[in-house]
């Protein structure tokens, strides 16, 4: 049972424009959300996180928005750069307490020059 | 920052043999480590939660006698794939709860021939 869903398997964006990656979840107990970036044959790299007490968190070009009522979060990358091309995983956890992460299937982002 | 070192990065083994994958936390103590498996075009699926000094907790559908997990110290967890078969070929990743968030190993590509 997939509790974290990324319904877009791929996304293509032009360099300089905004990339928006979406994620939905079904478990209302999730209260800590993370985005990871992953290159082939490598482990995921942490990008940004947000707890359920906030609805926005920003770090440089990356902003994560959380809509708890809709059980939806999104990652905005602006401006997008070719080096951002990778697979992005949304993950969720029940509190920031060492619980395991539930991952979405990932969205493959391609940023074209 | 917190680093988890995972070895080997790639391994090819014959059917019926066993393979051990190691994950070490280099600059922090990891009471809990998580083992994930990634199938092609699928999300990272949690296999088991490894707790230092106690038995691992396996997710439903994961054979504990096949995927042996040992977490003998606060800095080392191992996953042994016993009597490997071609269907065990996959990308295995470990993760630990570090002081400031989750951190991942670089992954192990296992190919069983």
A111 min Cα distance to partner chain B (Å): 20
Per DSSP, what are the bridge partners of residue A59? A62
Tokens of A107: 């969205």
Q: CB–CB of A79/A62 below 8 Å? A: no
Question: Nearest 5°: CA angle at A41, between A38 and A44?
Answer: 30
Query: Which among A41, A49, A98 has the least Cβ separation from residue B107?
Result: A41
Q: How confident is the model at residue A98 (pLDDT cuts 50, 70, 90)?
A: low
For chain A, give the number of residues.
113
pLDDT in tens, B16-50: 999 999 999 998 888 889 999 987 767 788 899 99
Nearest CA in chain A to B35: A100
pLDDT value for A97: 54
> Which one has a higher pLDDT value, A41 or B62?
B62
Residue that the structure tokens 């999300």 belong to: B43
Task: Name the CA dihedral angle for A9, A67, B48, B76, rounded to a multiple of 10 degrees.
Answer: 100
User: Contact A46/B34, CB-based, under 8 Å?
Assistant: no
For chain B, what is the HEC assignment? CCCEEEECCEEEECCCCCEEEEEEECCCCCCEEEEEEECCCCCEEEEEEEECCCCCEECCCCCCCCEEEEEEECCEEEEEECCCCHHHCEEEEEEEEECCEEEECCCEEEEEC
B35 min Cα distance to partner chain A (Å): 9
Q: How far is CA B14 from the centre of its chain?
A: 19
Instruction: Give the pLDDT mean for B84-88.
Output: 95
Give one DSSP letter per residue of A21-71, joined into a string: EEEEE--TT--EEEEEEE-TTS--EEEEEEETT-SEEEETTEEEEEETTTT
Residue A90: in which H helix or E strand, if any? strand A86-93
* Closest to A71 measured CA to CA, from A47, A99, A104: A104
Cβ-based contacts under 8 A for chains A and B? 51
Query: What is the share, in percent, of chain A residues with pLDDT greater than 70?
Result: 96
User: Contact A101/B95, CB-based, under 8 Å?
Assistant: yes
Q: Is B29 on the interface with A (CB under 8 A)?
A: no
User: Contact B93/A106, CB-based, under 8 Å?
Assistant: no
User: Contact B31/A41, CB-based, under 8 Å?
Assistant: no
CA A99, CA B25: separation in Å to the nearest integer? 17
Nearest CA in chain A to B50: A100
Query: What is the share, in percent, of chain B residues with pLDDT greater than 70?
Result: 98
């Amino acid at each position: 049972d997939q509790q974290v869903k990324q319904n877009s398997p791929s996304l293509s964006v032009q360099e300089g424009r905004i990339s928006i990656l979406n994620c939905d979840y079904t478990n209302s107990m999730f209260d800590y959300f993370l985005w990871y970036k992953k290159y082939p044959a490598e482990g995921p790299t942490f990008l940004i996180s947000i707890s359920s007490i906030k609805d926005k968190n920003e770090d440089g070009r990356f902003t994560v928005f959380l809509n708890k009522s809709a059980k939806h979060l999104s990652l905005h990358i602006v401006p997008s750069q070719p080096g951002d091309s990778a697979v992005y995983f949304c993950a969720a956890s029940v509190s920031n307490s060492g619980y395991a992460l539930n991952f979405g299937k990932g969205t493959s982002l391609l940023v074209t020059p | 920052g917190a680093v988890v070192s995972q070895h080997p990065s790639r391994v090819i083994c014959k059917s019926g043999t066993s393979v051990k994958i190691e994950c070490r936390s280099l600059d922090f103590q990891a009471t809990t480590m998580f083992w994930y498996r990634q199938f092609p075009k699928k999300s990272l699926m949690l296999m088991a939660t490894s707790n230092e000094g106690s038995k691992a907790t396996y997710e439903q559908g994961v054979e504990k006698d096949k995927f042996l997990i040992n977490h003998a110290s606060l800095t080392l967890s191992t996953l042994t794939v016993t009597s490997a078969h071609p269907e065990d070929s996959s990308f295995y990743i470990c993760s630990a709860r570090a002081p400031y968030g989750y951190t991942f190993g670089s992954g192990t590509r296992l190919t069983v021939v």
